[in-house]
Structure 1
Amino acid sequence: MSEWKPKRFWKNSLVVEAGNGFTVELDGRRVKTPAKAELIVPTQDMAEAIAAEWNAQDGQVDPGTMPMTRSANAAIDKVRHQHAEVSEMLAAYGDSDLLCYRADSPRELVQRQAEQWDPALDWAAETLNARLVSQSGVIHRPQNSEVIETLTKAVHALDSFQLAAFHDLVSLSGSLVLGFAAAKDWRKPDQIWQISRLDELWQEELWGVDEEAQKMSDVKRQAFLHAKRFFDFSG
């Protein structure tokens, strides 16, 4: 038996003010989250993007084509109620950040990591007041506890909508530093994504591109770019 999917029942989607934010109405009926909470978002730009997703539905409603709505639902139904736990989980990336674990050979890869990753660590030291130390090899070496505390406070300071986006920026890139770099416009998001994939791109140069791996990478890239867009719309 095929899974039942809701069908479009509305003619128009409209952004309206609601409380301290904005919501979307479908023929006058306010959109709710899967947990039946009111879908109230912090900015009009975010609400307009959500309304556009609902307005683009034709026939059956396809959540796969509604990333902005899904992210808002996650912020309201999940992150808002687990803010501290999510913040701690993401802050933990700082103690084992992708950018801090370097190859010891070949020389070309070592040089490429230094050229692309050192500037990001320098940016974090200057902008976030958090100097993470890199090393050769993959054996874990704890970072300075005061530096980690500084980064942890910065993560906790994000609101629920920002944190929902930041979760994907960090988890997809594997780097707390690159998550902040994307959020704070250090470089263009696509450039930051490419920096996070340095090792994979190196392997592709050596052994060629695996089609299945490339498809997965493309999906992750789109998710990363969406997360940046959602973060920007958060305020």
Structure 2
Amino acid sequence: MSTWKQKRFWEQVTVTESAGRFAVELDGRKVKTPAKAGLILPTRAMAEAIAAEWMAQEDAVNPHTMPFTRSANAALDKVQLQHNEVADMLAEYGDSDLLCYRADSPVELVQRQSDEWDPALDWAASELNARLQTRQGIQHQRQDAEVLKGLQARVRALSAFQLAAFHDLVSMSGSLILGFAAAAGWRGADEIWTLSRLDETWQEEQWGPDDEAQAEAEIKRQAFLHAKKFYDFS
């Protein structure tokens, strides 16, 4: 296994603008993606966040401390090249959305799911023109094809940078509707993350917390919050 790490060679980190797009330069040299594409960014806010990450590097570059850079790289090197495939994969979450599959007991959990998840489905019906139907149990039942088609079109309409962020909002929450809700700012990202964890929280209340599971959930929560910030900067 290689232990080579890129050393910091630059003194100055600057943001440049050309034709309404932005780049980050290290001593006048534009940053490129791992695939050697130009790291051309849609907003100054994103470019400044990435510039701050490069400026914060000390002796050796540590990609794990550069989440905005990594997300932008993914948008350009991966998502941009297979945009519709990624969009369609995410749109499929609508047909088995977390919010639609409800417990049939105990009554307290049934009520909590209704109280906390129904408002998100109501928001989607109003703002996305997409009324998804709830089911009891875990057996898959297809949603209305026209509703799913409309949601798919909305996902496909996202830019590569938005879609890179949206991927994490949806896949980490398990819900296309919560992904849209987070992107739109329906509620705070932390609150939406908590909604996605309703079943896990219920189990913890019944049986007590598991330290390992909680640590893993916190890592995912931080990634979810980052995805929301990256979406907003897109």
Normalising by structure 1, we get a TM-score of 0.98
Q: What is the correspondence of 1:1-235 to structure 2 with a 5 Å cutoff?
A: 3-234=3-234
* Aligned Cα root-mean-square deviation (Å): 0.8
Q: Is the 8 A contact 1:95 1:142 kept in 2?
A: yes
Which one-letter code corresponds to 2:181 in the other structure? A
Normalising by structure 2, we get a TM-score of 0.99
Which one-letter code corresponds to 1:133 in the other structure? Q
Secondary structure class of the residue paired with 2:3? coil
Which one-letter code corresponds to 1:155 in the other structure? V
Deviates more, 1:17-26 or 1:90-99: 17-26
Runs of 4+ residues over 3 Å off in structure 1:
none
Deviation of 1:2 after TM superposition, in Å, equals 5.5
Aligned residues with identical type, % of pairs: 68
In 2, the alpha carbon distance for the partners of 1:56 and 1:29 equals 17
Deviation of 1:209 after TM superposition, in Å, equals 1.0
Where in structure 2 are there 5+ consecutive unaligned residues? none
Deviation of 1:138 after TM superposition, in Å, equals 0.2
Where in structure 1 are there 5+ consecutive unaligned residues? none
Which one-letter code corresponds to 1:212 in the other structure? E
CA deviations on 1:81-110 (whole Å, 9 max, x unpaired) are: 000100000000000000000000000000
Secondary structure class of the residue paired with 1:140? coil
In 2, the alpha carbon distance for the partners of 1:13 and 1:111 equals 53
In 1, the alpha carbon distance for the partners of 2:3 and 2:129 equals 51
Q: Is the 8 A contact 1:18 1:40 kept in 2?
A: no
